[in-house]
Chains A and B, each alone.
Chain A
Amino acid sequence: MSASAPGRPGVARPRRPTEDPAWLRWALCLLAVVLLGMFLLLPLVAVFAEALRRGVGPAVAALGDPDALAAVRLTLLVAAIAVPVNLVGGVAAAWAIAKFDFPGKRVLTVLIELPFSVSPVISGLVYVLVFGAQGWLGPWLEERGVQVVFALPGLVLATIFVTFPFVARTLIPLMQDQGRTEEEAAATLGANGWQMFRHVTLPNIRWALLSGVLLCNARAMGEFGAVSVVSGHVRGETNTMPLHVEILYNEYQFVAAFAVAGLLALLALVTLAAKAVLERAE
């Protein structure tokens, strides 16, 4: 916005009426940078500083620990199941909501957003209420040798719940804006449903889709509260990376805890960078 760009040095020009005085502009910018730096960036720096407190060696050793590796594997496995489920569900929901009018559309839109307004702990709790030892289906499943809570299925379900709206909510406004004329043209020209989706819809939504999947994945790998409730905290078996961080921290293994936390922080940084790139691609 050229109206508020700082003036060229040495060139006196009258200040426009909507332009703030230079001292105010710089003071506000400085204040924002200092406050955000202390409030948002310093915690990030602290993670890496604590992880490397005794040098690189102990931090790397902590990441090579068998329990840590098991936690990494479990986190990747959970995300590899949860993210595709929400990808398919999210695309289906966006297709129905953005391209068609039907009774109950508004209710459906609100319900899809619901998991975001539920506490992570409650997101885990609801699965314990259904599948736990005293849950609705728990005893019946146990007789058949199926364990959901305190095992992989519970972790996956809780993760799907907390990451449920990401893909749908990035796609719906975009696909609504795009309307359905392009798809209708493809249909008129004889494309079948899959051809239409593959050649018309998908190219239009690919960046938003990728960005939704990225955010969904970051949350899936970093989720703590919901999986904490349904995990049984069995080391090397049902601990995802964030849960492993908590155990290490509670055992006063601070360097190891912050090393694993640093790995998760790197994931967050990569996600933010990729999101910035995608936003420019759009």
Chain B
Amino acid sequence: MRRRAALPGFGLALGVTWLWLGLIVLVPLSALVLRPWELGLAGVWASVTEPRVLAALRLSFGAALVAALVDLPLGLLVAWVVVRYRFPGRRVLDAAIDLPFALPTAVAGLALTALYAPNGWLGAPLAAMGVTVAFTPVGVAVALAFVGLPFVVRMVEPVLRDLGPEAEEAAAVLGATRWQAWRRVVLPALGPALVSGVALAFARAVGEYGSVIFIAGNRPMESEIAPLLIVARLEQYDYAGAAALGLAMLLLSFACLLVFAAMQRRLRRGMA
């Protein structure tokens, strides 16, 4: 007797799943893959290598990388504190980590702009120190770091919890100082989780729109992100051009994710 026969509903469930996936995701995404070529190969290349497009791609991918790298130490600190220490307010801190997940992006964008504008609560003291955040590429990176932070914390947290103090105990017994144990035992064990957290934060940041456009200032060649250019092209009914840029963004971010995956494999192998 086949094992599968024991439970009913397989055909129905799989059928519903493929229908749902096909109609909502696969057919529309195939339009993104097929429509740019209305411009011809040369046309597609010209449309994604315009100086303004290149500047926007550089900003979207560059700021996303900077933001993800800022989230790395911050996320590690928060995960460490939440897992290892007990202190008043820990529960609130733990719940607050997910705020960027739950807060609508447009609300985050508005709030960050108000906060970091030259007359804002944080913008004013920063301006006094000569740092302009709002309406510059720095502001873009701040918004992207905001939306990406929970990814790093939530990837590291479970690994740190599972790790427990035993490995550190062994290191201490063998004569390692606290810092050596942390540097040589804890950090390598967290490596793969840190890389996936950074990769997720990066992937989210590259395509981010709502939380960025308010604080970015959106000046062409300077603080204009790639998703905004897609919107601009759609507004001019340049469907093929918008699709070309969308496809280029998607391929570029998949390429970046492959690099992150390779890094993760190397870290894993180093551990074994």
Contact = CB atoms under 8 A, between A and B. Distances in A.
Interface of A: 1, 3-6, 17-18, 20, 25-26, 28-29, 31-33, 35-36, 38-44, 46-47, 50, 85, 88-89, 92-93, 95-97, 99-102, 108, 111-112, 114-115, 117-122, 125-130, 132-136, 157, 160-161, 164, 180, 183-184, 187, 192-193, 196-197, 215, 218, 221-225, 228-229, 242-243, 245-246, 249, 257-258, 261, 264-265, 267-269, 271-273, 275-276
B37 interface: no
A132 B95 CA distance: 41
Interface of B: 4, 6-10, 12-14, 16-18, 20-21, 24-29, 31-32, 35, 74, 77-78, 80-87, 89, 93, 95-108, 110-112, 114-115, 120-122, 145-146, 149, 165, 168-169, 172-173, 178, 181, 203, 206-210, 214, 227-228, 230-231, 234, 237, 239, 242-243, 246, 249-250, 253-254, 257
B249 A119 contact: yes
Given A93-B13, A228-B231, A245-B106, A130 B81 contact: no
Contact of A29 (B81, B108, B168, B214): B81
A167 to B, nearest CB: 11
B110 A33 contact: no
Main secondary structure of the interface of B (DSSP, over half): helix
29 contacts: A6-B86, A17-B173, A18-B168, A20-B84, A29-B81, A35-B74, A42-B121, A43-B111, A44-B99, A47-B107, A85-B20, A89-B16, A89-B17, A92-B12, A95-B9, A96-B10, A96-B17, A111-B21, A126-B246, A129-B31, A129-B35, A134-B237, A164-B25, A215-B101, A222-B104, A223-B104, A242-B104, A272-B95, A272-B102
A125 B98 contact: no
A125 to B, nearest CB: 5
Given A39-B145, A128-B234, 5 more contacts: A17-B172, A35-B78, A47-B111, A183-B7, A249-B110
Nearest to A193: B8
Majority SS at the chain A contact face: helix
For the complex of A and B, the 4 pairs showing the least CB-CB separation, nearest first, are A119-B207, A222-B104, A17-B172, A224-B210
B108 A43 contact: yes
A50 B117 CA distance: 13
Contacts of B13: 92-93, 95-96
Nearest to A250: B214
Contacts of A249: 110, 214
A234 to B, nearest CB: 15
Given A134-B237, A225-B105, A180 B6 contact: yes
Most buried by B among A96, A101, A267: A96
A133 to B, nearest CB: 7
B13 to A, nearest CB: 4
Among A129, A184, A242, find the residue whose CB has the most chain B CB atoms closer than 10 A.
Answer: A129
Contact of A4 (B86, B98, B207, B231): B86
A136 B77 CA distance: 50
Contacts of B104: 221-224, 242, 261, 264-265, 267-268
A132 B28 CA distance: 12
B73 to A, nearest CB: 10
A225 to B, nearest CB: 4
Contacts of A120: 105, 207-210, 227
A125 B243 contact: yes
